[in-house]
Amino acid sequence: MKQERILIVGLNWIGDAIMSMPALQACRIENPDAHITLLVKAYLKPLWEMHAAPDEIICLEDSRSTIRKLRAGNYDKACILPNSFRSAFLPAMAGVSRRIGLRGDWRRYMLTTAAPLSEGHQSNEYFPILAPASVGQHHALPQLNIPAAPVESMARKRPFSGRYITLMPGAARGASKMWPLDHFEQLATQWLAERDDFIVLAGGPGDAPACEALAGKLGSRACSLAGKTSLKEWAALLSKSSVAIANDSGGMHLAAAVGAPVVGIYGITDPAKTGPLSKCFKVLQNSSRRSRDIARDSGAARKALESISPDDVFAAALELLQ
């Protein structure tokens, strides 16, 4: 009997990718003998290398090269997670006979099956596409396995030993998801005064200038590793953190996926839709407004974020530690 070959067109952001992992895990359970290939942007390949579900990971290139790769894969089915036109166009042009995804972005004719949109958390949306038999069932949390090498290299990069907490003041979406940096500074100053932990500031290269500046204000028991780690090293760093404090961001979801206790700080995005997938987390939000799609610099979001005090975040983090 021919082995079924399943192509999954993956999502483009760390947080979204992690929120798709429960459905991918269910897809593997429903299709134990299938060969599952994941198509993702190159920077996300290290994330998915830590996940057991895909047999193969291929990186998105220009359209012509990607279509050539997909044709060579001879896939029986494409599960298309993003809502974009291009994500459906590529497997359609590659001749994948069955193509499943959500309607939208003028692409309905490129799908052979339009999946229904699920209610609740964003992670629910991917089950009708990837694992329809598991819709409505209890879902396992994201499962990442960090290799020994990044754990060891991260331990060498840390300029300290002992317990530490991780602060992540960045967010790819911009000001609408960023708790004020001076609030992070007040929180960190209070933490250093009342606790013995070291403080690590973490994030991607774009977060490095702000994290370096903040670390410079905090003294010898704080450092910035933002932009100085690989994605796997970042995961290793978070996995050993006593607690991670972050905006609604990819870093928050990564911390949750590797088992760190997480405090998530929300403006007007909806934690019921995009909250961390974790057994040990707290969400702080001072807004009755909930919106999934917000401008990069929303005045309402900034106001809601500013209203969350450093004392509130300090108390939430202490409660998780206890």
At 78 the pLDDT is 98
Answer whether residue 269 shows pLDDT above 90: yes
pLDDT digits (tens, 9 = 90+) for 141-193: 999 999 999 999 999 988 888 999 999 999 877 888 999 999 999 999 999 99
pLDDT digits (tens, 9 = 90+) for 188-215: 999 999 999 999 999 999 999 999 999 9
Lowest mean pLDDT among 25-39, 127-141, 267-281, 291-305: 291-305
User: How many angstroms separate the most distant Cα atoms in the chain?
Assistant: 66
Round the CA-based radius of gyration of the chain to a whole number and report it: 20
Q: Which domains does the chain have, with CATH numbers?
A: 5-133 (3.40.50.2000), 148-321 (3.40.50.2000)
**For 44-49, what is the mean pLDDT?**
98
At 289 the pLDDT is 82
**For 10-23, what is the mean pLDDT?**
97
**Contacts by residues 42-49 (CB-CB < 8 Å, ≥ 24 positions apart):** 43/231, 44/10, 44/12, 44/14, 44/17, 46/230, 46/231, 46/232, 47/14, 47/17, 47/18, 47/144, 47/231, 47/235, 47/254, 48/10, 48/17, 49/232
At 108 the pLDDT is 84
* Backbone φ, ψ for residue 62 (5° rounding): -65, 160
Neighbours of 65 (CB within 10 A): 11
Answer whether residue 1 shows pLDDT above 80: no
With H, G, I as helix, E, B as strand and everything else as coil, classify residue 318: helix
pLDDT digits (tens, 9 = 90+) for 238-249: 999 999 999 999
With H, G, I as helix, E, B as strand and everything else as coil, classify residue 151: helix
d(CA 209, CA 194): 27
DSSP state of 116: P
CA 297 to chain centre: 21
Answer whether residue 4 shows pLDDT above 90: yes
Tokens linked to 301: 């979001």
At 192 the pLDDT is 97
pLDDT digits (tens, 9 = 90+) for 286-307: 988 887 778 788 888 899 999 9
Q: What is the dihedral of CA 86, 89, 93, 98, to 10 degrees?
A: 130
Under the banding of pLDDT at 50, 70 and 90, the label for residue 123 is very high
Are the beta carbons of 28 and 51 closer than 8 angstroms?
A: no
At 66 the pLDDT is 98
Contacts of residue 64, Cβ cutoff 8 Å, sequence gap at least 6: none
Burial letters 210-220, b for 16+ CB under 10 A, else e: bbeebbeebee
At 296 the pLDDT is 82
Q: Which amino acid is at 285?
A: Q
